[in-house]
Amino acid sequence: MASNVLPHPRVWFITGSSTGFGRALAEAVLTHGDRLVATARHPERLQDLVRSSPDRVQLLPLDVTNPPQSQDAAAQAVAHFGRIDVLVNNAGYGLLGAVEEATDAETRQELETNFFGVLHVTRAVLPFLRRQRSGHILMMASVDGFIGETGAGIYNASKFAIEGLSEALAQDVAPLGIHVTLIEPGYFRTDFTGRSLKEAARQIEDYAQTSGVAREQVRHINGKQPGDPKRAAQAMIHVVETAHPPLRLVLGADALSRVRHKLQQVKEEVDSWEATTVSTAFAATSTRSSG
């Protein structure tokens, strides 16, 4: 049987390579002997990657909210390395606050980065993957793209959008030899709950016991998250090297227990409402006489 595994060395195209998962993956990819297109809003800060592997790294400026820059970056990557094997849609940030507290501008900015950013970059890279009839897209979603929680509603919306997009995209591109995998981490020790975390400026007293508590808890976990981004990077390399990669890869024991709990809850609720669910079809009509 023909192997579906991408050829080695691979060309990785990573968004948001400056810190956290993106940076850890960039380093791991190079250690693994692969080639790297490291994109970032400030690529000049990644010069050390070029110094470590001058022939295997291309640095490119990319703010994912800028569609023409996404097109340019994809084209430059292919002009430089001849192909892209793995696209990692990693760039993103969190927004804390109750759904009602987040303003329209705060909400749109979050979706502009976490959803439309992913869409722009994916659409820029897909023509090359289609031409190759191979490739793997890793979508850095989150356990928060599977489970909604107070204080994270807008972030949840952005990541749930990635989940739906990716499930459909995976089916669009499967016949073309392209894989899509959603990465769903729990808490990992990156800059996510530090410098990258935004908070809705408005606070409504009525949400003090729900979203307000969540705002406190998330800030408190910064620096104490159980997940190691370097180990996450190894897991992402492993999934790309698998002949039959999963649609979803949950990362971290914290995320795993939350996902299992939600699956159980959904099953119980769907089952207990079954009678109402199936009661909504038109009443069965008796066979009409023809005369």
Ligand X SMILES: NC(=O)c1ccc[n+]([C@@H]2O[C@H](COP(=O)([O-])OP(=O)(O)OC[C@H]3O[C@@H](n4cnc5c(N)ncnc54)[C@H](OP(=O)(O)O)[C@@H]3O)[C@@H](O)[C@H]2O)c1
Total residues at interface with ligand X (CB under 6 A): 30
Residue 63 lies near ligand X (rule: CB under 6 A): yes
**Using CB under 6 A, which of the segments 36-44, 98-106, 168-176, 275-283 binds ligand X?**
36-44
Nearer to ligand X, 130 or 231 (CB): 231
Structure tokens at 168: 């459909």
Question: Closest approach of Cβ 237 to ligand X, in Å?
Answer: 16
Q: Which of 21, 115, 128, 146 binds ligand X (CB under 6 A)?
A: 21
Report the distance separating Cα 182 and Cα 202, nearest Å.
32
In contact, 19 and 191? CB cutoff 8 Å:
yes
**Using CB under 6 A, which of the segments 62-70, 76-84, 266-274, 277-285 binds ligand X?**
62-70
The yes-or-no answer on residue 155 being catalytic is: yes
Q: Which of 6, 10, 15, 137 binds ligand X (CB under 6 A)?
A: 15
Task: Specify the residue for token string 């492993």.
Answer: 238
**Using CB under 6 A, which of the segments 19-27, 52-60, 207-215, 277-285 binds ligand X?**
19-27
Over the window 135 to 174, marking each residue x when it contacts ligand X by CB under 6 A and - when it does not, the resulting string is: -----x-x--------------------------------
Structure tokens at 224: 């104490």
Number of Cα atoms under 13 Å in the Cβ half of residue 84: 30
The 10 Å Cβ neighbour count of residue 75 is 14
In contact, 87 and 96? CB cutoff 8 Å:
no
Residue 13 lies near ligand X (rule: CB under 6 A): no
Please identify the residue of the shown chain whose CB is closest to the bound ligand X: 20
Question: Closest approach of Cβ 89 to ligand X, in Å?
Answer: 8
Start-end of H helices in 140-252: 153-173, 213-221, 229-240
Residue 80 lies near ligand X (rule: CB under 6 A): no
Over the window 176 to 195, marking each residue x when it contacts ligand X by CB under 6 A and - when it does not, the resulting string is: ---------x-xx-xxx---
**Using CB under 6 A, which of the segments 37-45, 74-82, 171-179, 260-268 binds ligand X?**
37-45
Number of Cα atoms under 13 Å in the Cβ half of residue 25: 33
List % helix, strand, coil for the chain (3-state, nearest 5).
50, 15, 35
Of the candidates 93, 155, 187, 207, the residue annotated as catalytic is 155
62, exposed or middle or buried, with CB in 10 Å at 0-12, 13-18, 19+? buried
Q: Which residues contact 38 (CB under 8 A, 6 or more apart)?
A: 14, 17, 22, 26, 46, 49, 57, 58, 59, 60
Helix (H, G, I), strand (E, B), or coil: what is residue 115? helix
Residue 41 lies near ligand X (rule: CB under 6 A): yes
Over the window 188 to 227, marking each residue x when it contacts ligand X by CB under 6 A and - when it does not, the resulting string is: x-xxx---x----------------------------x--
Name the residues that contact ligand X, by CB under 6 A. 15-16, 18-22, 40-42, 62-65, 90-93, 113, 117, 140, 142, 185, 187-188, 190-192, 196, 225
Q: Which residues are catalytic?
A: 155
